[in-house]
Structures are given as structure tokens and as C-alpha cells.
Amino acid sequence: MGTMETQSEKYTFEAELCQNEHFTLYQGRHTADNTPVIIKVAAPLYVGDDFFVRRFKQVAEQVAQLEHPNILRTYAAGEEGDHLYIAYDDPAASTLVQIIELGGPFSPQRMQHIAGQIASALDYAHQKGVFHGDLSAQHIYLGPNDHVFIANFGQSQVFFGANITKHQHAITSPEILAPERVHGQGPSRQADLYALGVLCYQMLTGKPPFIGPVSSVLHAQAHKQPLPAHLVNARVSIGISKVLGRMLSKGMELRYNTGAEFNRALIMAKHDSKPVHRYDHLMPITEREQIRAMPFKTFFYFVIMLIMIIFFSALFGWAGYELALKQAAAQTTAVRVVAAATIVALQTTPGPKIIVSTRILSSTGEPLPTGTSTEAINTKANTLLPTRGLVTALPTPSPTLSPTLSYTPTPSPTPLPPVPASQTRFIFKNPTGYDLIIDLTGPLPWSELIPPGQQQQFLLPAGSYQYIVHTPTGEGLKTVVGNFDLFPSQTIEKDYYSDYDWSQE
């Protein structure tokens, strides 16, 4: 590398980290403030390609404008003599692939914590029109408390269209390459989300879905389905395995639309307690059909049992019906006795007269004709459906009381509880007619779905936050981006129409 191995105008080169046919990585420091950085120098064969140089600088300028807690800060590209390079902050942390190789597969909880941070960073970059294109475990760094730092944003985009790679792919990580990219398409939002699904699969199982020679991996990415994660690691629930299977679909339209949507699906699936089923082999169709066929002996016993069940059911039903008829006849006789005694008592008791109306009703509830004899009634009582006697007492009218107005006070709204001294409250309201998704980035990243006409309250630590609001499908309403600062014990209310900056679509 000549003089660049020790010094340049902006950076001091200290040690070479790694090298491939496209780039060489150096560990160094920023000359102005001695900040540790990682310097990425393009191979000499690319420097003579004017299109590559312009594209390299353009992408570096876009990435340098990204400000997200999970994206490493990148500086503008530099060119000194025959050397073209770009620098970004040194996270002083191990890569995701190194941690997986040392510690093995992650728990579903740890995987979801890391995936949520990556998903938030991807959604933010996609809103700015920047795609990663090479989201492999080598470019993910894990700091304290598994804080995620993502490097190498947008670098794969500089290769497409360059003369030096007109007839070849600049593929550095085929294990995360989406099927559509294997067929020749460039970086995209859906391809980044596919790579995120591969990372989650790798965190849970210890390896990507497809490994081996580059040609074999590319063929599998385009034409084969990966083995479900719960069959590789029994600690993975079927719910999480299904979510990963959808994100690793060959069709772009079948995957989740945003990283936030994928993260919500992981959170819901994390609580899935269904047991994991394992199948040692697939049974042939002919064998399954033989097992399904019911032998004649089994069928004969089944028919006999069914006939016995029907017979005893009919027997118990008839016995219950006869018992109900006897009880109904006894109740009818008791009613007639009570009615007669009541009439006699009313006629012999001094005081205001009470008019008593006695009607004999038939079994259908209709009054019998006048003059029906008691014998006729007794005859009716011996039938299957006996008659019923009804005694109606008609008292003399009583004075009418004047109505009284009543008032029930409306309860006053319950005031919001005070905000703890160590936290803040952020309230976001949805006055639109659409479901809205709000993605918060800051000291405590958060993603939530808010239905129309409702609001969501967030208890957050103090600090600077940015929120991105969009519909689940990204259609219907424009995406909005807003920023705010929260101080201890402060409450801030915002809605979709608060002060914001329209994002570019």
C-alpha cells in the first residue's frame, strides 16, 4: 500500500485486519482527534474504473448522513493518488459470527433482542433510500449488553454497473443472498429483510440455512427451502420457526413488509408454548393408506357399540318423558286445590272485596268453553298432556305515586398517574382512519401498532428520540419522521399531524 500503510491526510494506519479481492481493512485513527476508526481501501483494479469511483463516493456520502444508534458512523470517501478508501468508527467489539462460533446458538430471547435492533436500523436506512446489500454476520458487531452496531452499509451497491464487474458478481457473503439477487437483481429492501431472516436462523441454530461451496449455496438460495429451525434446535418453538420460514420465502411478496413487522411477529411467536414435534422419517403414501383402512372386525364392533348407545339413549329418553308427565299431572291437581281454597278464604274474610277470576286453560294455554264440568277437567287431566288451571286475582286500584327524578353523576376522568422521576412519558395519538405503526429509536427502541382513534403511552428513559410513523403496508398514508427530546418526569403528546418532516418515497 505504499505510504498509506502508515499515514494519510486524514487517517493514520496502524494494523491490517483482513483482505479480499475487493477491499482491504485497516485499523487506524483519525488524525484530527485521534478517534479509533476502521479504514476500508478499495483494490487497485477498481480505482481506474471512473463509474466505480463516482458510485463509491456517492454511496459513501449517503451513508455518512445516516444517524442511528445501531449504525456505525461513516465518514465521506477519500481519494489519495491511486488509493480510494472510506472510514467508519471502530466499535471495539466482536462480530456476530465470532460470538456464535465461540458460544454456540443463542436463546430465542437473545435472538429477538438483537434482531429488533437490526430491524430498527434497516427500517431507518430504507426510509432514507439506503440499502445494506451485504448484511452478513461479519458486518454485525455486538457491544456491551448485546448493543448492535452495523457496518458496511451500501457498499455492495457500488459494484452494480461498474465495468470491471460487468460479467461477474461481487459476492462476499452468498449465505445471506436473497433468491432474487441470485437471479441478477440488485440490493433492495426485501433482500435486506431476507438477510435479516438468515441472521436470525444463524443465531438460533449456529449456522446459516445453506453452507458449502459458493455455487451450491447460490443454487440452494434460489431453489431450495431451508430445514425449519425447530428441527435443528429443539429450543426453538414452532411459532418462531414459522416466522423465520415466512421471512425466508422465495417470493418477495410473501415476506414481512418491514423490519418492525417482522420484529412484532417474533415477539408474538416467542410466547408460543406449543411442543416441538420431530419426525424421524416421512411415511410413504401407500403405507399411510393401509393404516387408515379400518379392518372388518373393528368396523363390526363399532356398529354394535353405536346400536347400543342409540338403544339406551332412547330408553332413558322415554323414561324421562313419562316421569315428566306424572309430575305435570300432580302439579295441575295442586293448583286447582290451592285456587279453590284461596277463593273460599277471600269470600269469608272481611274487608275490601277482591274480584277473583278463575279460568281453566287447556293444554295449549287457551280457555276452555264456559260450562266445562269438573269431570271433563278430570278427564283431561288423565291425558298425556293435562290441562292447567290459572287463578288470576284482580285487586282494587291503588293511588298512583308521582314520578321521582333521579340523577346519576358522570364519573370524572381518571387523571394520569405521575411519571416516575427516572422516566418520561410519550403519548402518541392516531386521529387517522388507518392502523399506524410507530417505530421509536433512541435510548429505548420501541415499535407499536396503534388502531384508528386510539393512543399509546410509552414510559421511556430521558434522552433524544426519533419516531417513524407508517401504515402496516406502507400505503394509504405518507410515512412521517419526527424528533423530540424527553427530560425526567416530562410528558409529551404527539399525533400523526404533529410537527414532522415528510420522508421521501
Pick the CATH number of 2-89 from 3.40.190.290, 3.30.200.20, 3.30.70.20, 3.90.1170.10: 3.30.200.20
Residue 239 belongs to what H/E stretch?
A: helix 238-247
**pLDDT class of 392 with cuts at 50, 70, 90:** very low
pLDDT band with cut points at 50, 70 and 90 for residue 290:
low
Query: What cell does 454 get?
Result: 386510539
Average pLDDT over residues 423-431: 90
Is 94-270's fold the same as 424-502's?
A: no
**Long-range contacts (CB closer than 8 Å, 24 or more residues apart) made by 354-359:** 354/393, 354/394, 354/395, 354/396, 355/393, 355/394, 356/391, 356/392, 356/393, 356/394, 357/391, 357/392, 357/393, 357/394, 358/389, 358/390, 358/391, 358/392, 359/390, 359/392
Q: Which CATH class, in words, describes the domain spanning 424-502?
A: mainly beta
Residues 80-109 have pLDDT tens digits of: 777 888 888 988 899 999 999 998 899 999
Average pLDDT, the chain: 78
Q: Are 20 and 152 in contact (CB under 8 A)?
A: no
Task: State the pLDDT at residue 503.
Answer: 38
C-alpha distance across the termini of the chain, in Å? 42
Per-residue pLDDT, 324: 84
Strands (E), 43-89: 78-80, 83-89
Express as a percent the part of the chain with pLDDT over 70.
Answer: 72
pLDDT number for residue 374: 45
Alpha helices (runs of H) in 349-404, residue ranges in sequence order: 374-381
Query: Per-residue pLDDT tens for 354-369?
Result: 444 444 444 444 454 5
What are the boundaries of each domain within the chain? Answer: 2-89, 94-270, 424-502
Contact 197, 204 (CB under 8 A): no
Give domain 94-270's CATH number out of 1.10.240.10, 3.40.50.1000, 1.10.510.10, 3.40.190.10.
1.10.510.10
Residue 470 has pLDDT above 90, yes or no: no
CA 152-202-15 angle, 5° bins: 40
Measured from the Cβ of residue 382, the count of other Cβ atoms closer than 10 Å reads 8
